[in-house]
Structure 1
Amino acid sequence: MHDVVAPRRTFPCTGCGACCRHVGLAEETRFLDRGDGTCRHFDEAGRSCAIYAERPLVCRVDRYYDAHYVHLVGWDEFIELNLMECARLAAMDEATSPD
């Protein structure tokens, strides 16, 4: 008999682009920095990824989890940790945006 594994919930990305505007802050994403902290593949006008279908592993939350964190932390906790980081990056954007 095989164990039935419940499907994991999808990462609730809002598409705000905060993670793309701060790739220079993390060692794992620094290689994407175009020189100002923003990802070289981030389309500012469309607030989207110009290479979405071919984006690197680090930009794919579910696959990055499977490759690096599956044996360290549960999926739901990984989502919560990432959502906290999303909120921190979004707050950085708000603090630096002109009123």
Structure 2
Amino acid sequence: MTVTKADLANTLFEQLGLNKREAKEFVELFFEKIRESLESGESVKLSGFGGFSVRDKKSRPGRNPKTGEEVPVTPRRVVTYKASQKVKDRIAKNNVSALDGKPETNQL
């Protein structure tokens, strides 16, 4: 399941009693502030959740997978997310197989 902005707004409506318009506006303003901060090169840290930062990637050689032709990959800015230890711990705790109760292993 994917959580959408509409889902977040609906949760604010149901659990905090905001009206639907206020809840939607709150979610939009929240993400707009994050976008503005990242666009200006600032990092965003959300305590207990993690941090977002902008990273500059250099130009590098790449390869077209269909033709095998070497093509340059242009330099660009990317957003990275680093989960907080709380988030990592909760995900690890919930990574238990529903069938046998044993932790799952990611074997390739």
Larger Rg: 2
Q: Which has the higher contact order (CA 8 A, sep 6+)?
A: 1
Instruction: Give me the TM-score of the superposition, normalised by structure 2.
Output: 0.30
Structure having the higher strand fraction is 2
Instruction: Give me the TM-score of the superposition, normalised by structure 1.
Output: 0.32
Structure having the higher helix fraction is 1
